[in-house]
Each structure stands twice: as C-alpha cells, then as structure tokens.
Amino acid sequence: MIRSGRTVIREPRSKMRYGNRMTQPYLIGMPLRIGSKIRGALLFVRFGGPEYTDDHIHIASLQAFWSSALIERKELREARAELDSVQRQMRLQDDFVSTISHELRTPLGFIKGYSTSLLRQDTTRDDETQREFLTIIDEEADRLTKLIEDMLESARLQSRALQFKFSPLRLDALIRDVATRVNTHHPNLNIEFLTEPLPPVLGDGVRISQVFENLFSNAVKYAPGSKITIRTKTQDNKVLISFADEGDGIPEDFLPFLFERFYRVPGERTVTGTGLGLYICKQIVMAHHGKIWVESMLDKGTTFFIELPANPTL
Ligand code: ADP
C-alpha cells in the first residue's frame, strides 16, 4: 500500500490490556515521495498503544513531507555538484586541446627552426653557435618527450591500465636520489633536507620518483629561485613527507582543483605545462593507498604533503 503512495495505519489484531506490549504494535507508515516516485517510508511504531489520534497522524504526515523535502534537496545538491564537475571537466578538456596544440607546436617549431638553420649550406656557424643550437634542439626534444609521456601516463592512469611494481622502498633515500638527478639539470637549486630516517614503505620506486620529480619541476617552474625544504616524519604508522617552496603561493580559491586532470591555475599561461602533473601524482599516491594534499599562502609559498602507509616489517 505504501508503494502506491497511501498512508498505512495498523492496529494490533488483539488488544489485551495486560498482555505482552511487544506483540501489540500500533503503526503509521507514511510514504516518502521524492519527485514523482515513492522512494521509501517513514514508520512510527508504538508498542502496546495508546492508539494514534488524528493529530498524531497529521504530525506524522508533516514529518514525512519534510523528510522527503530534505532528501530531495540533498539529492538535488549532489546532482548539481556532479553537473558542475562534469561541466568543469568539459571546459578543462576544451582548454586542454588549445594548450596541448600550443605545447606540441612550440618545441617542434624550435627543433625544426634550429635544425633547418644548421643544415643550411649557404651559412657557416662557429662551433659555439652550433653547440648552442644543438642544445636547444636537445632540450626541446626532451620537453616534447615529457609532454607525450605525461599525456600517455595520464590516459593509462585514467583507464587504470598502468601496472605498478611494488617492492620495499626507503623514501628518504629515494627523494635524495631524485634531488641529485634534478640538481644536474638545475645546479643552482637550493634544497634543504630536514628529514628523519623513515621506515620502509611498499611502493613502486619508479612511480614514486615520478611524483617527486613532478613536485621539483613545479617548484622550479612556479617558484623560481626559491628554496625547497623537504621534511619527513613518521606518525601513526604512516610516513609523512612535506615539500615546501617559498614562491608566490596559490590563491585559496584555486586549491581544491589543483589535482584535477588538465587543471591549471588561471593566468598561468606564461609557464609551460598541461595541468597533468599533479593529477598524475595524485593517481600514483592513491594507488599506494596514500594521500596527497596542498597548502599554500600568497607570498609565502606552497607546500605539498604526501602520506603513505609505513610498513616496518618489510
Ligand atoms: P602544469 O605544471 O603542467 O600546469 P600541474 O598539474 O603540475 O600542471 O600543476 C597544476 C597547476 O598548479 C599549475 O598550472 C600551477 O598553476 C599550480 N602549481 C603547481 N605547483 C605549484 C607551486 N609549487 N607553486 C605555485 N603553483 C603551483
């Protein structure tokens, strides 16, 4: 009956004054109508009476009305949030197409321009200039490779096609290795380690290194010249790593979207990028049952935090 949208009122078959109250239920069942559908019921039961009066039934029906309205409002809010997120994703995809065509064309333009120039037979260039041109070609080819790798990686992560190879890792050593590698490309980088020895974690060393490479590369791009401070500690059987720069920081309004695929802070167009780096970091950290988040203060800097489950028995 409730399914058909009607109120149900039941009284016990036998009303015994001194019998077991629990066997004498008085019941009101109010349908919960959400939109045009009956989606549930609100039940009131009183064991052993007294029976419900008309006033009680009226209050119960008001209660059912308000409960339905609340559920409907909550569902509308959730649907709205989902719609917003889909719309944002679509906008980001649109932006991405224009970003990516620019990002692909720029290095290709350099490579083509400088190699054509080197191949010209009507001009001769001294060794130093030739070397300079070749260095540019080399760097731009690297940039192109990184871009294509990031795009493939993000597609694989999104389709969950990426295989992880887990083994025991010492994160403190791993971060230092990444820092040494990054330092060879950016010798002036000022990195301070305030680390304590960490228990091992079970992880994919290549992928976790990729996370730190991304954070270093972002610090170089968005906080040029700033000191980078890396802290590590163990708490509650978890390993916590923070990665802080002292750059311009990120306005608070943009922080919730930073790890979304293709997201770039508006106005960031002068620095090259695709908005894939932090998305990739988040997917990798999540595949390790960890968490990554960011805190930032304007003119003070940005700190990324990574938490991973420690595994002292490894
Ligand atoms: P990309 O660098 O390719 O744009 P990411 O996903 O790595 O993509 O970063 C997303 C956005 O987050 C960047 O466009 C940038 O605006 C912002 N961001 C990331 N790291 C920092 C940082 N250390 N300081 C300031 N802004 C940052």
* Strands 167-169 and 301-309, bridge-based pairing: unpaired
pLDDT at 269: 64
* CATH code, domain with 200: 3.30.565.10
> 115, 132, 158: which is the final residue of a domain?
158
Q: Are residues 151 and 198 in the same domain?
A: no
DSSP label at residue 53 = P
Ordered mean pLDDT values, 10 residues apiece, the chain (314 residues): 87 77 89 90 90 93 94 94 89 78 87 94 88 94 89 84 90 95 91 92 95 96 95 94 97 95 81 88 96 97 97 76
| Of 217, 175, 222, 215, nearest in space to 198 by CA | 175
> 64, 80, 96: which is the final residue of a domain?
80
Closest ligand 1 atom, residue 259 Cα: 6
Whether 265 is in the pocket of ligand 1, judged by its Cβ within 6 Å, is yes
The DSSP line for 141-208 is: HHHHHHHHHHHHHHHHHHTT------EEE-HHHHHHHHHHHHHHH-TT-EEEEE------EEE-HHHH
Give the Å distance between the CA of 49 and the centre of ligand 1. Answer: 66
pLDDT at 89: 82
Q: Are residues 205 and 288 in the same domain?
A: yes
Whether 245 is in the pocket of ligand 1, judged by its Cβ within 6 Å, is yes
* CATH code, domain with 125: 1.10.287.130
Q: Are residues 176 and 280 in the same domain?
A: yes
Q: Is 3 inside any structural domain?
A: no
Q: Is 229 inside any structural domain?
A: yes
Q: Which domain holds residue 277?
A: 167-309
Q: Are residues 257 and 289 in the same domain?
A: yes
61 with 29: CB under 8 angstroms? no
Probe residue for ligand 1, chosen from 100, 157, 211, 278 as the CB with the greatest number of ligand atoms within 8 Å: 278
Number of compact structural domains in the chain: 3
Q: Is 2 inside any structural domain?
A: no
Q: Are residues 190 and 292 in the same domain?
A: yes
Whether 29 is in the pocket of ligand 1, judged by its Cβ within 6 Å, is no
> 31, 59, 80: which is the final residue of a domain?
80
Residues, the chain, total? 314
pTM over 0.75: no
